[in-house]
Amino acid sequence: MVDPRESVYDFAAQLLDGREVCLDEFRGKVLLIVNTASKCGFTPQYAGLEQLHRAYADRGFSVFGFPSNQFGAQEPGSEAQIGAFCQKNYGVSFPLFAKIEVNGPHTHPLYRFLKRAKPGIFGTGRIKWNFTKFLIDRQGRVTSRYAPSTVPMALAAAIEDLL
């Protein structure tokens, strides 16, 4: 059970450039938090994530990308390589964070929170693959969890409802 006082704003994470960011800096925004990878069949979703980010950023929305190498070693690069790949191939302008673990004993605390707040199918908390998506409301609460196969633009209506 998630403590109702807990929100995404209670966590911090390191950006690709190594700078630690308190997510409280994004208080009041609608967020889409996604675990990403550069060498995955779903990698082209970066284009849709960027499209969402640009479409709604001026209304208080942001995508957060959290690279993870836990699924088929599909994110083997360094933080600098990840950033260069995302910029060159998809023009990513949303925040990209340093590589993290989303499952197992070294799961990043933010992902522990996300999985508790919105477990997957049949109540399993595990992230099944790259590009699992969590939609967060302006109060920092997890409203929805989406499968990797859910294309980013399919979330537009849900995002607009929260804006």
Q: How far apart are CA 83 and CA 101, in angstroms?
A: 18
1, part of any domain: no
Helices 79-90 and 45-56: crossing angle in degrees, nearest 10, is: 80
40 catalytic, yes or no?
yes
29, part of any domain: yes
Q: How far apart are CA 35 and CA 162, in angstroms?
A: 21
Q: What is the pLDDT of residues 23-72, one digit of tens each?
A: 999 999 999 999 999 999 989 999 999 999 999 999 999 999 999 999 99
| Residue type at 142 in one-letter notation | V
The answer, yes or no, to whether residue 1 has pLDDT greater than 60, is: no
Q: How far apart are CA 37 and CA 76, in angstroms?
A: 9
Instruction: Please state, for a pLDDT cut of 70, what percent of the chain lies above it.
Output: 96
49, part of any domain: yes
Q: What range does the domain containing 62 cover?
A: 8-162
Assess contact for 34 and 65: CB atoms under 8 A: yes
pTM for the full predicted model: 0.94
| pLDDT at 6 (0 to 100) | 84
The answer, yes or no, to whether residue 125 has pLDDT greater than 90, is: no
Please, which pLDDT band fits residue 2 given cuts at 50, 70 and 90?
low
Determine the number of helices (DSSP H) and then strands (DSSP E) in the chain: 4, 6
Count how many domains the chain has. 1
User: 59 or 2, which is more confident?
Assistant: 59
- Residue tagged active-site, from 40, 57, 153, 156: 40
| pLDDT at 84 (0 to 100) | 93
| 53-62, 111-120, 129-138: least confident range | 111-120
CATH of the domain at 74: 3.40.30.10
Report, as an integer, the average pLDDT of 71-97. 94
